[in-house]
Amino acid sequence: MKKVLITGIDSFTGMHLAAYLEKFGYDLYGTSLFETGLKKYRCDITNKDDVKRVLQQVQPHYFIHLSGISFTAHENTEEFYRVNTIGTTNILDAFVELAIQPLKIILASSATVYGNQGLEVLDESLCPKPSNHYGASKYAMEVLASSYFDKLPIILVRPFNYTGISQAEHFLIPKIIKHFREKKGKIELGNLHVMREFNDVNFVCEVYKRVLECSAKSETVNICSSRGIKLLDVIDMMNTIAAYTIEVEVNPAFVRKDEIASLTGSPKKLFNMIGKVEQKPFQITLKEMYEA
């Protein structure tokens, strides 16, 4: 059995991905900032000694780095860089210093590195220009990680928006579903005209699995489908699923001044690398989340 070590294994993505990979016979290990358990190690990635201790114990064949701060409205801006940027270089340094050579290292960046390009579809040829600290911390991570391409088999992935059961309620789709589940009469949202990918977490898990198993390395690739969905369309789908119509009100406090109007990606490079990955209609994802 091939050992897979996932940082942030108790995160939304980590939980889904660990369960998904186990179905295919992988031996899953993980790190958590708070909890320990069977094959789960407490690890603060901003502390390189913590990272080295876990790597020495597990000796993973594959490594997937999901740990980080992913909520763009997180208040402590310095933490974005301390965790997302420095934390990642601590991991790569630890691999090099311990002379551990895994078969593949996947580092999770983000589509927010693109910023607002003024284009409908974003591909990897674009020059990133992040418009917030989250995106900037991820782009800084990418630049620094690329200097390890000659030492380690790294793939940098840029996931576009995705959702699913158990995603934290401060994220947009779970927030909307919670309002419908509680039969609220009104919901306050920000910019209603934004378009996002809104992929299913199982689509993302299958992509991670295929990237893990493919021969590519020293690459940066989108995790996306180019399936853009408008926020108001999400509300319409939920009106149907919940069998009532909610009133939508724009709260100016929720409208970000640096809001990216359209954020969909080109999956051409991804699908050339791993083959086309299909996913369920978004209405089904919403229904599963609503009924969970």
Distant-in-sequence, close-in-space partners of 21: CB < 8 Å, separation ≥ 6: 4, 28, 205, 208, 209, 212
Given a contact cutoff of 8 angstroms between Cβ atoms, the answer to whether 165 and 280 are in contact is no
Contacts 24+ apart (CB under 8 A), 39-44: 40/9, 40/10, 43/7
Query: Exposed (0-12), middle (13-18) or buried (19+): which is 211, by Cβ within 10 Å?
Result: buried
Given a contact cutoff of 8 angstroms between Cβ atoms, the answer to whether 263 and 195 are in contact is yes
Point out the catalytic residue in the list 41, 114, 134, 139: 134
Distance CA 265, CA 226 (A): 5
114 part of the active site: no
Given a contact cutoff of 8 angstroms between Cβ atoms, the answer to whether 18 and 28 are in contact is yes
Phi, psi of 2 (to 5 degrees): -80, 130
Query: Which residues are known catalytic residues?
Result: 134
